[in-house]
Amino acid sequence: MLDQLAAAIVRHSDGLWSDSTVPRLTLVALDEPIAPLDLLYEPMVCFIADGAKRTIAGDRSRLTGRGEMFLNSLQLPVTATFERVPYRSVVLRLDGRALAGLLLELDGTGPRTRPGPGGQIAAPMTPELVDAVTRWVRLLDTPDDIRPLAARIESEILYRLLGSPLGPILRQLTLTDSGAARVRAAAAWICEHYTESLGIDTIAAVAHMSTATLHRHFKAATGMSPLQFQKHLRLQEARRQLVAGNTTAAQVAEAVGYVSATQFNREYRRAYGLPPAQDAARLRGRPANAGGA
């Protein structure tokens, strides 16, 4: 079954990341090893049909491979390394409204296990899930079927995910006043304001938490503190701008919010192993960064 899913992915892939005409469906296909990529994850589920990828976020490292699925529940800067190729995966970008509507239809049925503090979780795919995801991708073979069937198959996938180990965290995504929701709000707010000078008190106010509670919950969900999260966003964006060219390290440092170019150079080298200009020269020519999985 996984081979059939991988074949369907290849049939409709165009480059590393391929958005599709099926709403919320992205395909990922890679045949040759590439350098690690900086990505900004959105809430999504990744279904891996072949290969393996390691994701590093803060002090956390997770390897997910063939036959497994991975849930990310919040915006999160990560470094991804494709450790086994060919790599094939399907990404479902989560829609909170679709998820909430399905839960209302289920009338509160299903497991009520309390989720752990993390914002990410991996688990094996069941044959039923592989079948549903394969049928979802195969809609691209028959475009006339997309409008009447895509939402129905997506709903089936969500239904099966709710009964899986990913279910408890998925259910948390529909809550608006939980600790997890407040961390998601804080992460999204930092993503919008990362170039500004942010203090932990300001971020805690956005999350409606004390600074100590925010720090504890944020670190549990992301593997980093809120200010480390901001720094990762700044460095990732700086790297993207440098690789694009036509700018200097000093200009990029100012653009992403650094007051001190010296501090920027120091933190950049600590993160990527080379000074900004040398790192950018090394990376030019590799695939553009994106938000896939």
**Domain count of the fold of the chain:** 1
Q: Span 86-96, mean pLDDT? A: 96
pLDDT of residue 293: 67
Q: Span 113-125, mean pLDDT? A: 77
Task: Give dist(CA 260, CA 257) in Å, integer.
Answer: 9
Question: Is there a domain that residue 180 lies in?
Answer: no
Q: Calculate the dihedral angle through the C-alpha atoms of 188, 190, 195, 199, rounding to the nearest 10 degrees.
A: 170
Task: Give dist(CA 45, CA 158) in Å, integer.
Answer: 10
Question: Is 91 a residue whose pLDDT tops 90?
Answer: yes
Q: Span 11-37, mean pLDDT? A: 94
* CATH for 37: 2.60.120.280
Question: Is there a domain that residue 194 lies in?
Answer: no
Question: Is there a domain that residue 49 lies in?
Answer: yes
Task: Give dist(CA 46, CA 286) in Å, integer.
Answer: 23
Question: Is 108 a residue whose pLDDT tops 70?
Answer: no
pTM of the model: 0.90
pLDDT, tens digit (0-9, with 9 covering 90-100), for 179-228: 889 999 999 999 999 999 999 999 999 999 999 999 999 999 999 999 99
Question: Is there a domain that residue 71 lies in?
Answer: yes
pLDDT of residue 75: 95
Q: Calculate the dihedral angle through the C-alpha atoms of 70, 75, 78, 81, rounding to the nearest 10 degrees.
A: 40
Question: Is there a domain that residue 249 lies in?
Answer: no
DSSP 15-45: SSEEE-SSTTEEEEEE-S----EEEEE-SEE
Question: Is there a domain that residue 282 lies in?
Answer: no
Question: Is there a domain that residue 46 lies in?
Answer: yes
Mode of pairing for the β-strands spanning 37-41 and 44-57: unpaired
**pLDDT interval class at 259 (50, 70, 90):** very high
Q: Span 118-133, mean pLDDT? A: 94
Structural domain range at position 41: 2-172
Question: Is 262 a residue whose pLDDT tops 90?
Answer: yes
| DSSP 8-class letter at 194 | T
Q: At what angle do helices 2-11 and 127-138 cross, to 10 degrees?
A: 20
Question: Is there a domain that residue 251 lies in?
Answer: no
pLDDT of residue 176: 78
**pLDDT interval class at 288 (50, 70, 90):** very low
The torsion region of residue 270 among left (phi > 0), alpha (psi -120 to 50) and beta comes to alpha
